[in-house]
Amino acid sequence: MNKVLEGKLNILPDQPGVYIMKDKLGNIIYIGKAISLKNRVKQYFNGSSGHSPKVRAMVNNIHDFEYIITDSELEALILECNLIKKYMPKYNVLLKDDKNYPYIKVTVNESYPRLLLTRRVEEDGAKYFGPYTSMGAVRETIEALRKVYPIRTCNRKVDRGVGNKDRPCLNYHIKQCLAPCRGDVDRKEYNQIIKEVCLVLGGKYDKLQKQLEAEMEEAAAQLNFERAALLRDRIAALKVISQKQKIINSTLEDRDVIALAQGQQDSVVQMFFIRGGKLLGSQHILLDNTGSVDYQEVISSFIKQFYMDTLFIPREIILQRDIDEIQIIERWLSWKKGSRVYIKIPKRGDKKKILEMAVKNAVDVLNGISLKKEGERARTIGAVYRLQEHLNLDKPPFRIEAFDISNIQGTNAVGSMVVFIDGKPAKKHYRRFKIKSVDGPDDFASIGEVVFRRFRRGLDERERLKKEGRDMGEGKFSQLPDLIVIDGGKGQLTSALRSLEMLGLEDIPMLGLAEEFEEVYILDSKQPIILPEDDTALHLLQRIRDEAHRFAITYHRSLRGKDIKRSVLDEIPGVGAKRKKALLRAFNSIEEIKKATFQQLEKIEGIDKRTALNIYNYFNKS
């Protein structure tokens, strides 16, 4: 433990708050909360025998920490959630599935509400129903509802009231919209329909069905057979929608069931969404590298991240086992919902049965994912060993680095370096280079420069890390590859070799892959190696080469795009950085600025008449 850490540990306050762990580079690697910062943070450094492997690895990487004192544990929990979402620390359990679940939105904040499908839940006064677990399920539900509840889905402005007599859209003619834009429906009648739709979406089928049956009988008694037929169709549609959802319990409550299955490496959370006593849907979420993490930490982290941005929170959440943070999480969820939320661990009965079903699903999903990963790993590792055989290498090329050059007529020349570890892309190790020493389109010289700069930097880092007694894997360039792949043929390969020889690294195996005939060039052979088209080693080399090319092209295009914007606007007298921003903000692109009239340009904030005229004349030269 360094002296900075030791000093900070001695002055930690005995108060609630959030602690932020950092590594030697100042990167945030873990964020947690505590009732007592003093007690919680010290626990990490008071012996490692009780720590999980992941916690031990995290503690070994702590170089410094910060903390924020809060007024309460609840405030600390809220701050912790926000900071984890912002920084995504390496050692926190993270929900990498950032998919927003689909919801059905009823815009009750509008005079004539609409029925919409959305993935964004906002605090805008609308009602949201869900989450659903597939877009198909949402569309099917909306379609079934609109057959008997013809409410609008368009963006027309009808909030000012009926009577505008606008020309109705196709939905009106196929009887899937009442066309409030025409003024053909009374607002009170329309809002009654909306109330019924909300009851359906809220799972209150029985209540609505009884209400509709009573209204149908009354309409029939009054000989209003058209109204009775309409109500009959609504009851039939209601039965179709309700029958698609499995009845879980008779209490008609909203609850989420959360089950966790943990393997050697990963974990799977299986969720069941129960609304109004019926199973609305289910979803599984993979949590990478959490197999050895304590159940309590995984579930606590999952609940906090999952419900942080969820507008709808059920009255009850069911878990397999108790967690230490259960009371504070209940308080937080209740605060978010605005009413009491309970976390239960059932021992018997219907709740236990549905939990066991969720656990079984989680285990099945985890087994399936594990088998798939094992198969993929076997294929990729197999390709690595095949490559070793073809190239007669001393050891398998577990770390492969590939280099490519991108330029158009010598402008904005760039180089890319991509890294594959165990046959899979390791994107955090990718690097980009601007070509500095080469004028014009010279791929040979450019590849030589990039290779030299990469390995010169690597040798410098290795020397520094050695002096500091640190691991060679801590630097950005300090790890050396088992194999170098150059996009190109013998010429590019020779240029790269000269750079390695200058650094004393000519023993690193290297090959060139020529795109036209997929020929593999190696240094000690005059003839290229032709690998079979179905060989997994060739497929691996092609993936690596294509990825290096993609990465280089993407970087080149971004630089070229910036250069185009800069070269065009900077040539116009009177247009500086502020005016350039104002123009791009107003017109979004150079093409739109070209099309603008003098009057449009003059209206832009910060653009005077003279500058507007300069811009207009520049793009409208005769």
20 dihedral zone (left: phi>0; alpha: psi -120 to 50; beta): beta
Half-sphere exposure of 459 (CA within 13 A, CB side): 10
pLDDT-based confidence at residue 48 (cuts at 50, 70, 90): low
Closest CA to 253 of 209, 314, 198: 314
Query: How many Å apart are CA 157 and CA 515, to the nearest integer?
Result: 57
Tell whether 345 and 468 lie within a shared domain. no
In a domain, 421, yes or no: yes
Question: Per-residue pLDDT for 202 more than 90?
Answer: no
The per-residue pLDDT for range 474-503, each reduced to its tens digit, is 788 999 999 999 988 889 999 999 999 999
338 part of a folded domain: yes
* Cα–Cα separations (whole angstroms), residue 258 to 301, 331, 509: 13, 18, 50
**E strands, 164-312, in order:** 246-247, 255-262, 267-275, 278-287
Domain co-membership, 552 together with 412: yes
Does pLDDT of 515 surpass 80?
A: no
Return the amino acid letter for 486: I
Distance CA 313, CA 317 (A): 9
Q: Is pLDDT of 605 > 90?
A: no
Query: Is residue 164 a contact partner of residue 181, using CB atoms and an 8 Å limit?
Result: yes
**331, part of any domain:** yes
What is the Cα–Cα distance from 123 to 134, expressed in whole angstroms? 23
| Within a domain: 546 | yes
Comparing 33-47, 193-207, 253-267, 570-584, which segment has the lowest mean pLDDT?
193-207
Q: Is residue 210 scored above 60 in pLDDT? A: yes
Q: Look over the chain and give the mean of its residue pLDDT values, rounded to a whole number.
A: 85
Question: CA triplet 577, 581, 583: central angle to 5 degrees?
Answer: 115
Enclosing domain of residue 608: 570-619
| Residues 257-302 pLDDT 10s | 999 999 988 899 999 988 777 777 788 889 988 888 899 999 999 9
Phi–psi pair at 322, nearest 5 degrees = -70, 155
Q: What is the share, in percent, of the chain residues with pLDDT greater than 90? A: 37
Residues β-bridged to residue 106:
115, 127
Q: Are residues 430 and 456 in the same domain?
A: yes
- Indicate the burial class of 214 (C-beta count within 10 angstroms; 0-12, 13-18, 19 or more): exposed
- What is the pLDDT averaged over residues 543-553? 91
Question: Can you read off the two tokens belonging to residue 273?
Answer: 């969404």
Question: Are 163 and 58 part of one and the same domain?
Answer: no
**For residue 163, is it left (φ>0), alpha (ψ between -120 and 50) or beta?**
left
- The C-alpha atoms of residue 513 and residue 541 are separated, in whole angstroms, by 8
Indicate if 313 and 442 belong to the same structural domain: no
Residue 439 sits in a domain of what CATH number?
3.30.420.340
> Mind listing the pLDDT tens digit for each residue in 358-388?
999 999 999 998 888 888 888 899 999 999 9
Name the pairing type of β-strands 17-22 and 28-34.
antiparallel
Furthest-apart CA pair in the chain: how many Å? 100
R_g (Cα) of the chain, nearest Å: 32
Q: For the residues 212-240, what does the mean pLDDT come to? A: 84
pLDDT of residue 413: 82
Task: Choose the final residue of a domain: 326, 343, 367.
Answer: 367
Lowest mean pLDDT across 137-151, 338-352, 443-457: 137-151
Q: How far apart are CA 59 and CA 30, in angstroms?
A: 10
pLDDT over threshold 60, residue 538: yes
Write down the residue that tokens 């029939």 correspond to.
220
Angstrom distance (rounded) from CA 273 to CA 258: 9
Give a yes or no: residue 241 inside a domain.
no
What mean pLDDT do residues 332-350 have? 93
pLDDT at 168 over 60: yes
Based on the fold, state whether residues 262 and 193 are members of the same structural domain: no
Q: Tell me: do 55 and 184 sit in the same domain.
A: no
Q: Where are the beta strands (DSSP E) in 465-523?
A: 483-487, 510-514, 519-522
What CATH number does the domain containing 606 carry? Answer: 1.10.150.20
On whether both 537 and 406 belong to a single domain, the answer is: yes
More confident: 157 or 324:
324
Domain termination residue (choose one: 62, 87, 112): 87
Taking 90 as the threshold, does the pLDDT of residue 557 lie above it? no
185-207 CB burial, b ≥16 within 10 A, e <16 = beeeebeebbebbbbbbbbbbee
Q: Return the CATH number at 66.
A: 3.40.1440.10
Q: How, if at all, do strands 103-106 and 127-129 pair?
A: antiparallel
pLDDT at 522 over 80: yes
- Backbone φ, ψ for residue 453 (5° rounding): -65, -40
255 beta partners: 274, 316
What's the pLDDT score for residue 243? 58
Cα 114–116–118 angle (5° rounding)? 145
How distant, in Å, are the alpha carbons of 203, 310, 334 from that of 102? Answer: 17, 12, 23
Closest CA to 208 of 185, 242, 183, 179: 242
Q: Which residues of 45-81 are buried (b: 16+ CB within 10 A; e: fewer)?
A: eeeeeeeeebbeebbebbeebebbebeebbbbbbbbb
Q: Are 258 and 316 in contact (CB under 8 A)?
A: no
CB-CB contact of 442 with 450 (8 Å): no
- The answer to whether position 361 is within a domain reads yes
Tokens, residue 347:
């021992």
Alpha helices in 72-186 (DSSP H): 73-87, 135-148, 170-173
Cα–Cα dist 67/514, whole Å: 54
Count of beta carbons in the 10 Å neighbourhood of residue 13 = 11
On whether both 442 and 535 belong to a single domain, the answer is yes
Element (H, E) at 180: none
List of residues 6+ apart from 204 with CB closer than 8 A: 252, 276
Give yes or no for residue 69 having a pLDDT over 90.
yes
290 and 405 fall within a common domain: no
Amino acid residing at 347: K
Cis bond leading into 89, ω under 30°?
no
For residues 418 and 400, what is the distance between their CA atoms, to the nearest angstrom?
Answer: 8
- % of the chain exceeding 70 in pLDDT: 91
Total structural domains within the chain: 5
Helix and strand numbers (H, E) in the chain are 19, 19
Same domain, 325 and 414: no
Distance of alpha carbon 159 from alpha carbon 113, whole angstroms? 9
3 state DSSP class of 282 = strand
The DSSP line for 225-242 is HHHHHHHHHHHHHHHHHH
Average pLDDT estimate for 409-421: 81
Q: Which long-range contacts (CB under 8 A, 24 or more apart) does 576-583 make?
A: 578/606, 579/606, 579/607, 579/611, 582/606, 582/607, 583/607, 583/615
Cβ proximity of 179 and 150 under 8 Å: no
Residue 74 within a domain:
yes
Same domain? For 546 and 575 the reply is no
Q: Is residue 422 part of a domain?
A: yes
Q: What would the mean pLDDT of 494-521 be, rounded to a whole number?
A: 91
Q: Which helix (H) or strand (E) holds 270?
A: strand 267-275
d(C-alpha 164, C-alpha 150), whole Å: 19
